Amino acid sequence: MEKVNERNNKTICLPFNSKEYYQSCIEDTEAFRQFLVSSYAQYPEIFPSDFTMSFKFNGFVSSKKQDGFLMRRIKLKNRNEDCYQIRPSFMMPYQIAETKEVDKALYLRHWGVPFDALAYVFGRDAMFWYRAYLSQGRNSIVGATVKKAEFLPEHVLADEKHTRLKGDKVYIASTAAQGLLLGSALTSAANIEALAEAYKDFKEEAQNIAPEYQPKTVNTDGWEATQKAWKKLFPTVVTILCFLHAFLKIRDRCKRSKELLKEIGEKVWNVYCAETLSKFSQRMRRLNDWAKSHLTEGAVKDKVLSLCEKSSEFKPAFAYPEAYRTSNQIDRLMDYQDRVLYSIKYFHGTSISANLYVRSMALAWNFHPYGSKTLSQDPNRSSPFNDLNGFCYHENWLENMLVASSMGGWRR
């Protein structure tokens, strides 16, 4: 699948308190300089790594779309004399609109509200909202979401979401951890090479933050190509088979007998709840012996024995107590993907736009504001981004995402 890489984004997005304060900084060079210096001291991760407060102003950028709206340009005092423009968070990329004019509409995309419906309620046209939504997919998902190297997950989950592009089957290779979607890339095949290429986005974005980054474990379902693709990208990663998927295969073949399913389920759950590796091995052997002596020949027995045969693929989890043993976390995120994709009846454009779409979905999830029920239980939890990083750049979810996506989310 064709991809868009925007590593050369030269826009620094900063959280100004108000338009009035921004205008006063535009008119006062020293005030603008002081704001940049203080912002760098507080949030160095959204600036170029060689910023170090050594820069000079280099004119203005004027926007025709916003009645001559001005943005400052700076030139770094480094070897290449790199130039960057400074955009306030209340202005969208490419100055298509102010953030307050689009944040509520883009929030509704989280729930799959069609672009035509957004145009009907909020004005403009469907293509405006479509482009505004897709533009976020050009940013680095990991770079925008994970603001410090120590927050990169040691344990991740990976799975593929089946979907369609112009009627043809394609797959969304998704990487998740800690309730966040950290990788989302479209691929036309589910073999080792294609999946490795799709999951490579996560690797490149994570290693842009920490060049030596290697996850310790990855939880996957039983698809061998997924496991080998991760081994190809991260040779030292330990693959852990999802215990839940193994049981679901039994459940799907045991629907006619609820009593039998309950009995098997209790025994399988007893195995899963083993506190130590030795107890796990012992209970797995007992389950294997029970299945051979008590179950009649057929699909149910075959699947129970198959679960027992895969015992070695479940055992690595005991060496990594914090690793994921089931795929529940990524399954919930793939349910979100499924709801949104169903609302648009899957993809009908190019592979590039489809790939941007799934990346935008991931970022929308990571930054979406929690509902009132969550906030009432814990006022400090405002979004998945906040849960991971412990802070937000701005109280408005979209402005928070724009600041976090400064320079496209890439470190330099």
The three state secondary structure string of 225-266 is HHHHHHHHHCCCCEEEECHHHHHHHHHCCCCCCHHHHHHHHH
CB 109 within 8 A of CB 344: no
d(CA 76, CA 184): 33
Residue where the block lists tokens 């770079």: 143
Residue 96, classed as helix, strand or coil, is coil
The rounded distance, in Å, linking the Cα atoms of 200 and 232 is 10
pLDDT digits (tens, 9 = 90+) for 132-151: 999 999 999 999 999 999 99
* End-to-end Cα spacing for the chain: 26
Average pLDDT over residues 202-207: 97
Residue 179: C-alpha distances to residues 65, 324, 382 (Å): 38, 12, 13
Going by C-beta distance under 8 Å and a sequence separation of 6 or more, which residues neighbour residue 238?
A: 216, 217, 218, 316, 319, 320, 323
How far apart are alpha carbons 263 and 376 in whole angstroms? 40
Q: Residue ranges of the domains in the chain?
A: 8-88, 98-240+327-412, 243-319
Q: Of the segments 27-31, 151-155, 262-266, 380-384, which one has the largest average pLDDT value?
A: 151-155
Q: Are 136 and 403 contacting, i.e. CB atoms less than 8 angstroms apart?
A: no
Percent of the chain with pLDDT over 70: 99
Per CATH, the number for 98-240+327-412 is 3.30.420.10
- E-strand stretches of 101-254: 155-165, 168-177, 180-187, 217-220, 238-241
Q: Model confidence over 290-324: pLDDT tens digits?
A: 999 998 888 999 999 999 999 999 999 999 999 99
- Mean pLDDT, the chain, whole residue set: 92
Q: What is the pTM of this model?
A: 0.93
Instruction: Check: CB of residue 279 under 8 Å from CB of residue 203.
Output: no
Residue given tokens 């997919």 in the structure block: 137
pLDDT digits (tens, 9 = 90+) for 49-77: 888 878 999 999 888 888 889 999 999 98
CA atoms within 13 A on the CB side of 306: 15
* Beta bridge partner(s), residue 71: 61
Confidence of residue 161 (pLDDT cuts 50, 70, 90): very high
